[in-house]
Amino acid sequence: MHEKEFKNETVKQDRVKITKNNNLYVDGKPFFPVGLWKIPGQKEQYLSELRKNGFNVLMTVYENNFDIALLNMAQKYDFKVIIDVHGIWYRLKYMSHDFPLWFEKEKTKIKKEIEKYKKHPALLGYFIIDEPVWTKVPLEPLLAVYNFFKENDPFHPVFLNHAPRNTIEELAEYNNACDITGVDIYPVPSEIGHSDLMDKTISCVGKYVDKMQASVNNQKPVWMTLQGFSWKHYFDFEDNGDYPTWEQMRFMSYDSIVHGAKGLLFWGTQYIKNPDFWQILFGIASELNKISDILSGETISQPSLKVNNDGIVFIEKRYDGKHYIIAVNEKNISLNAEFNTILHDKQLNVLFENRSILLENGSFVDRFLPYDVHIYTNEKNLSTSLSNFRKDFYIDKKGIIKKTIFLNQFPVYHGEANWICYPQSNVSDSDVFFRKTFNLEQEICSSNLLIAAYGNYSLYINGKKIPHKNIEWNIICKYDITSYMKKGKNIIAIHLMKKNILPQALIVEIELITSRKKKIKFISDDSFLVDNKETPQWYREDFDDSIWKKAEISKKKRFVQRIIPYEEILLSDFF
């Protein structure tokens, strides 16, 4: 499908609609989002496999080359897409100090992008920002962007995600800049302390849904972003990992739903090293996809159901005249629970467990393991198995992992470079400027620069600014800088812009091969010079940096030397 096939359409006012019960309807049909923050790859094979295994929403937050082709491909495989327009979310989060000026300058381009995408059938909505309260993004520019979105496209919702931090009152204020709110929470293992509640276990997930609902007074949908990775792999890509189990993932998903979440997203899948965890995610998505109409169906606001154990929480749904009970054990102990209903059926099916349970005068007793989930229904024709879960896709009959983008989204950096920062830097109260000078005795035939930075950065080589794309701090970018290198004196200069949470730090490695095939390498260490004041022409070759300080190798826990994935950036992407 080409853009010209839809560009003259008018935007249907009811294409994407939020009901008074905060459910989502797309093209007049109930829609329960189950999505990924990071698209594994913009290839039909990958989208096809994701869709077959239950996912129905994609986000373009981390897509450097997003364009209309992705929406066309998404439509082909029946995906809906939440898009980031013109890199707004990144600008707001990491460059908020000059955002108003940038936004005013870029409004015409942003409006054109909205016009370009808003008529596309695959568009679900717009992403505005991630974790704005926690990262101290000013509210005023957020409201300006939100109002701009609604002025130019009032028929697609705006989604905002929060960190598991801050008070209900603080969150409520920022939720004026969205139509759908949410929060990310990654509590496995509990020792990581991602939750800031008293409850650090996986049962904190439902509590966060309650908190977010309170922040919007139950007037807007809450979408939960759940754990799609191992914390160990996030900080060290070579670690064996400590992934959430099937039972933990299923609990967190249904605990969210029981507490009222209207959509589920998964973050961090780009860090998955163990293919078995993809099988777990596919199983969860497939299960949710199978009952998506039920999840978007009527919630019985005055439950007729009673349970004799306060460890069990539940939600009652009605769909197509049938009754559904989703019950979750929020305790880390096994429980027996007695359910008393008004149902007159003789038995209930237990979905996805290939069993049924007998009722006696509307009552039944069932056993719950720790953090267990059971789904009961009097619908007799709904399959209780999960036939569309393709467990064999990633491992062939010989047990060999297939080479797919899911397992190999990023090559891995194995270098020795250090995270460096301004000496004794404890707060991110100023920009930081780095310089590295080196001499080359021979002509260069090949040169690559690898860099990751906690904070937005500008990169200069021999006085020339290098076009680049800012990606998450824990992904290192690789640039071919051969054309910028020369025989003799060379200068690498980096402007690292202030952040609101942690001190700035960066990691750099420069690889060179001379015309005589000699390999040379420079890594970030205390040979880099640093200052925290911007001086005119600081990035030029002839600048006097003799009074600058030596950079400090960071010993902060978050900046320990580690293995991190990298993404290769082609400078041709910019021209």
Per-residue model confidence as pLDDT tens digits over 197-249: 999 999 999 999 999 999 999 999 999 999 999 998 777 655 566 899 999 99
Percentage of the chain surpassing pLDDT 70?
Answer: 83
User: Under a CB-based contact definition with an 8 Å cutoff, are residues 231 and 189 in contact?
Assistant: yes
Spatial contact of 322 and 328, defined as CB atoms under 8 Å apart: no
Is residue 59 domain-shared with residue 21, that is, in the same domain?
yes
Domain identity same for 92 and 140: yes
- Check: CB of residue 469 under 8 Å from CB of residue 417: no
Q: Identify the domain boundary among 377, 399, 431.
A: 377
Name the token pair of 486: 């020369």
Band of pLDDT at residue 61, cut at 50, 70 and 90:
confident
The answer on pLDDT for 483 being more than 70 is: yes
For Cα atoms 107, 479, 44, give the angle at the middle one, nearest 5 degrees: 70
Q: Would you state the pLDDT for residue 108?
A: 96
Same-domain check for residues 273 and 333: no
Q: Do 431 and 351 fall into the same domain? A: no
Radius of gyration of the chain (CA): 26
How wide is the angle at C-alpha 235 spanned by C-alphas 231 and 238, nearest 5°? 95
CB 80 within 8 A of CB 25: no
Residues 336 and 321: their CA atoms lie apart, in Å, by 29
Tell me whether residue 549 is in a domain.
yes
Predicted confidence (pLDDT) per residue in 250-305, tens digit: 999 999 999 999 999 999 988 887 878 888 999 999 999 999 999 998 898 776 78
Q: What tens digit of pLDDT does each residue of 417-442 get?
A: 888 888 875 545 678 999 999 999 99
Domain count, the chain: 3
SS3 string, 402-461, reads CCCCCCCCCCECCCCCCCEECCCCCCCCCCEEEEEEEEECCCEEEEEEEEEEECCEEEEE
Looking at per-residue confidence, does 427 or 85 come out higher? 85
Cα separations in angstroms, 64 against 56, 105, 140, 227, 447: 21, 21, 27, 23, 23
Please check whether residue 404 lies inside any domain of the structure: no
Give the pTM. Answer: 0.77
- Would residue 350 count as lying in a domain? yes
Which CATH number belongs to the domain containing residue 479 in this structure? 2.60.120.260
Nearest one of 295, 310, 194, 297 to 253, comparing CA atoms: 295
Instruction: Retrieve residue 263's tokens.
Output: 């959509």
Q: How confident is the model at residue 327 (pLDDT cuts 50, 70, 90)?
A: very high
Residues 221 and 354 in one domain: no
State whether 284 and 325 are in the same domain.
no
Same domain, yes or no: 38 and 99: yes
Q: What is the CATH number of the domain that holds 353?
A: 2.60.40.1180
- Taking residues 550-575, what's their average pLDDT? 48
- Residue ending a domain, among 271, 296, 321, is 296
The reply to whether 235 and 152 lie within a common domain is yes
256: domain range? 3-296
Cβ proximity of 520 and 444 under 8 Å = no
Q: 113-160 pLDDT, tens per residue? A: 999 999 999 999 999 999 999 999 999 999 999 999 999 999 999 999
Residue 252 lies in a domain: yes
263 and 320 in a common domain: no
Q: Are strands 123-130 and 158-162 parallel, antiparallel or unpaired?
A: parallel
Domain for residue 181, yes or no? yes
Residue 405 inside a domain? The answer is: no
Domain end marker among 377, 404, 431: 377
Closest CA to 216 of 256, 158, 176: 176
Cβ(84)–Cβ(116) under 8 Å?
no
Among 274-278, 300-304, 368-372, 472-476, the range with the most confident prediction by mean pLDDT is 368-372
The tokens for 401 are 């992992």
Q: Could you report the per-residue pLDDT of 512-541, keeping only the tens digit for each?
A: 999 889 999 999 999 999 998 899 999 999
My answer on whether 145 and 209 are in the same domain is: yes
315 and 254 share one domain:
no
The mean pLDDT of 325-333, rounded to a whole number, is: 96
What is the structure's pLDDT at 146? 98
Mean pLDDT of the 70-94 span: 92
Residue 42 and residue 431: Cα distance in Å, rounded?
35
**Structural domain includes residue 340:** yes
Shared domain for 192 and 108, answered yes or no, is: yes
Give the pLDDT mean for 169-197.
Answer: 96
Give the CATH number for residue 142. 3.20.20.80
Q: Does residue 528 lie within any of the structural domains?
A: yes
